[in-house]
Amino acid sequence: MDLEALKNSSALHPKPPGLALQYGTAGFRARAQQLDHIMFRMGLLAVLRSRAVAATVGVMVTASHNPEEDNGVKLVDPLGEMLHPSWEEYATQLANAEEEELQSVITEICQKAAVNQHKDASVFIGRDTRPSSEQLSQAVVDGISVLGGQYHDYGLVTTPQLHYLVCCQNTQGQYGRATLEGYYEKLSRAFTELMKQAPSSGEHQRHLKVDCANGIGALKLSEMEPYFPKEVLIHLYNDGTKEKLNHLCGADFVKVNQKAPRGLDLKPNERCCSFDGDADRIVYYYEDTSGHFHLIDGDKIATLISIFLKELLAKVGQSSALAVVQTAYANGSSTHYLQETLKVPVHCVKTGVKHLHHKAQEFDVGVYFEANGHGTVLFSKAAETKIRQLAKEEKDAEKRDAAKVLGNMIDLINQTVGDAVSDMLVIEAILALKGLSVQQWDAIYTDLPNRLLKVQVADRRAVGTADAERRAVSPAGLQEQIDALVKRHRLARAFVRPSGTEDVVRVYAEADTQEAADALAHEVALAVYHLAGGKGAPPQPI
Ligand code: 16G
Ligand code: ZN
């Protein structure tokens, strides 16, 4: 380590005095002006991580669905997973070190994580379309360079594309080529193969309206368009040429407000979807003839994919391979449908992609989705090998064809992380193959009415949870109160958890009617307010 060079370079990316940030559920997030030193230091950390694992790692500059003025950064591990939890703490330590401590913190991390400082380091960099992203990614480059790492800057990419590229690089091309062209070709080849099998529905062209949140999704979808089969017509809205990123549009806006994004004219019964700002989340929706808005969230996406895969897996003699992973936010109706009607095991884990991804790896075929639209499907090596072999060698035509469809699904799904583009193509292929309309998909089950609230408290850590966040273990008495309140409503369920991204406690409630869900959410919010040190005015009825 060239200490003089480190000192000089770091001085160009000074840490604002007193500022302390934490590597949270999805990396660092803050106002863009506060992040220059964080980016430089994450460049440093990426080099250390790359040396520790002797592989290429990724750095993505984005703040996802957050306002355009914000930014953030996430590290990507060699197989395209989120940064290993043991390194999240190093990230926080390095981010908050004062200038004069920087070198000793680096040395400490190297000791703790057995990093050989003489090894090669390789880092892939990507960024979203925020005005601040280009300069911030330059700070990442400075950090990488000063520690002697190599880098490849892919420039503007979606978050899932960067995950994919890192995985391709470290699997020596087995997962695909580490170029954007390689990504487009792999996905579109699989998609085209699947669409060839679709029964012609009389409708020769398939239209889909996509709200791109004024972000990177628009750019990348238009790059990909020439690769799509010509009967699939994707119409892009909120492409970033007119309005601000994520402003009144995008997957998060649509999910939270349960209404159409600005800038997309909904016609009755038209199939539409929204990406978020870095294109790793997707939700679908439509408006019926009476003007009623129908949201089709991550739970319904997981259900559609599970129904489809279950049928195919049964055909190839692997019906017990499938499991679904959800969080406590999953609508009770979805869990009920998956368990009772589809007879698929369902597992609940803590909020945050890394938890779902980790759990899904335990199964031959693990479908995971958060209700907010973040998710994918993971296939074990053994399951994939078996499917590929059947697709090639199986004599029974029906079984062989099912294996071929599964093989193409494996190629179409981005297994490194939830990917709005890949998920969209998976959904479009399933709807076409099954001849399902968006209304029929929506009608598979009816969501229980629900309500999400936030409560301001002095210290959100006062609320502790267990059992995948479904039970509160602190403050004392809170869970007992929630249990008593839930009992007063039908088909009711409620839980509370401290947010990982905002200084609030979140409350979720569902029940048989919207009035009951609203009342329950308010009652639980009041209980949190009184028992966990509420700030400001008490929560008001909805
Ligand atoms: C982050 C997570 C998302 C989760 C959300 C919960 C990733 C990539 N993103 O955005 O999965 O749903 O946090 O936020 O893991 P909350 O803790 O504020 O409710
Ligand atoms: Zn995102």
Residues 190 and 237 in one domain: yes
Q: What is the CA radius of gyration of the chain?
A: 24
Q: Ligand 1: which of 351, 454, 504 to mutate, most ligand atoms within 8 Å of CB? A: 351
CB atoms near residue 505 (< 10 Å): 26
Residue 136 lies in a domain: yes
Average pLDDT of the chain? Answer: 96
Residues 28 and 39 in one domain: yes
- Output the domain CATH number for residue 525: 3.30.310.50
Residues 48 and 187 in one domain: no
Residue nearest to atom 3 of ligand 1 (CA): 352
Determine contact, residues 40/139, Cβ cutoff 8 Å: yes
* Both tokens assigned to 351: 């909020």
Q: So what's the pLDDT on residue 319?
A: 84
Question: Which ranges of 414-512 would DSSP assign to H, the alpha helix?
Answer: 420-434, 438-442, 478-487
Q: Which of the listed residues 379, 409, 442 is the one where a domain comes to its end?
A: 442
Atom of ligand 1 at shortest distance to CA of 506? 19
Ligand 2 centre to CA of 248 (Å) is: 16
Nearest 5°: phi and psi at 378? -110, 135
Strands of the sheet containing 122-127, edge to edge, are: 28-31, 70-76, 56-61, 122-127, 150-156
Pocket of ligand 1 (CB under 6 A): 25-26, 351-353, 370, 372, 374, 499-502, 506
Ligand 1 centre to CA of 501 (Å) is: 7
Burial readout 243-255 (b: 16 or more C-beta within 10 A, e: otherwise): bbbbbbbbbbbbb
Atom of ligand 1 at shortest distance to CA of 159? 8
Residue 539 lies in a domain: no
Ligand nearest to the CA of 160: 2
- DSSP letter at 342 equals S
pLDDT average, residue stretch 440-460: 97
Q: So what's the pLDDT on residue 220?
A: 98
Ligand 2 centre to CA of 281 (Å) is: 6
Q: Ligand 1: which of 25, 70, 82 to mutate, most ligand atoms within 8 Å of CB? A: 25
> pLDDT per residue over 484-519, tens digit each?
999 999 999 999 999 998 899 999 999 999 999 999
Q: How far apart are CA 240 and CA 188, in angstroms?
A: 24
* Both tokens assigned to 52: 């520790």
Q: So what's the pLDDT on residue 199?
A: 86
pLDDT average, residue stretch 468-481: 98
Strands of the sheet containing 322-327, edge to edge, are: 346-349, 322-327, 365-369, 375-379
Residues 96 and 207 in one domain: no
Atom of ligand 1 at shortest distance to CA of 498? 17
Residue 57 lies in a domain: yes
Residues 388 and 454 in one domain: no
Residues 459 and 436 in one domain: no
Kindly tell me the burial class for residue 8, based on how many C-beta atoms sit within 10 Å of its own C-beta (0-12, 13-18, 19 or more). exposed
> pLDDT per residue over 64-88, tens digit each?
999 999 999 999 999 999 999 999 9
Atom of ligand 1 at shortest distance to CA of 502? 18
3-state helix/strand/coil string of 1-68: CCHHHHHHHHHCCCCCCCCCCCCECCEEEEEHHHCHHHHHHHHHHHHHHHHHHCCEEEEEECCCCCCC
Three-class secondary structure of residue 160 per DSSP: helix
Ligand nearest to the CA of 280: 2
Ligand 2 centre to CA of 284 (Å) is: 16
> Of the listed 9, 10, 50, 64, which one is catalytic?
64
Ligand nearest to the CA of 417: 1
Residues 333 and 414 in one domain: yes
> pLDDT per residue over 215-274, tens digit each?
999 999 999 999 999 889 999 999 999 999 999 999 999 999 999 999 999 999 999 999
Q: Answer whether residue 24 shows pLDDT above 90.
A: no
Q: So what's the pLDDT on residue 202?
A: 52
Q: So what's the pLDDT on residue 529?
A: 98
Q: Which of the listed residues 156, 173, 201 is the one where a domain comes to its end?
A: 156
Residue 166 lies in a domain: no
Residues 346 and 226 in one domain: no
Q: How far apart are CA 67 and CA 331, in angstroms?
A: 27
Ligand 1 centre to CA of 454 (Å) is: 15
Q: Which of the listed residues 295, 329, 360 is the one where a domain comes to its end?
A: 295
pLDDT average, residue stretch 1-20: 94
Residue 18 lies in a domain: yes
> pLDDT per residue over 338-361, tens digit each?
999 999 999 999 999 999 999 999
Determine contact, residues 67/21, Cβ cutoff 8 Å: no
Q: Ligand 1: which of 65, 246, 501 to mutate, most ligand atoms within 8 Å of CB? A: 501
- DSSP letter at 502 equals S
Residues 64 and 107 in one domain: yes
How many structural domains does the chain have?
Answer: 4
Q: How confident is the model at residue 394 (pLDDT cuts 50, 70, 90)?
A: very high
Q: Is position 334 annotated as part of the catalytic site?
A: no
Residues 346 and 424 in one domain: yes
Q: So what's the pLDDT on residue 105?
A: 97
Write out the residue range of the structural domain in which residue 262 sits: 182-295
Residue 228 lies in a domain: yes
Residues 86 and 204 in one domain: no
Q: So what's the pLDDT on residue 201?
A: 54
List C-alpha distances in Å: 443 to 143, 165, 272, 474, 492: 51, 37, 16, 39, 21
Residue 173 lies in a domain: no
Q: Answer whether residue 173 shows pLDDT above 80.
A: yes
Q: How confident is the model at residue 203 (pLDDT cuts 50, 70, 90)?
A: low
- Output the domain CATH number for residue 384: 3.40.120.10
Residues 215 and 122 in one domain: no
Residue nearest to atom 5 of ligand 1 (CA): 352
Q: So what's the pLDDT on residue 482?
A: 98
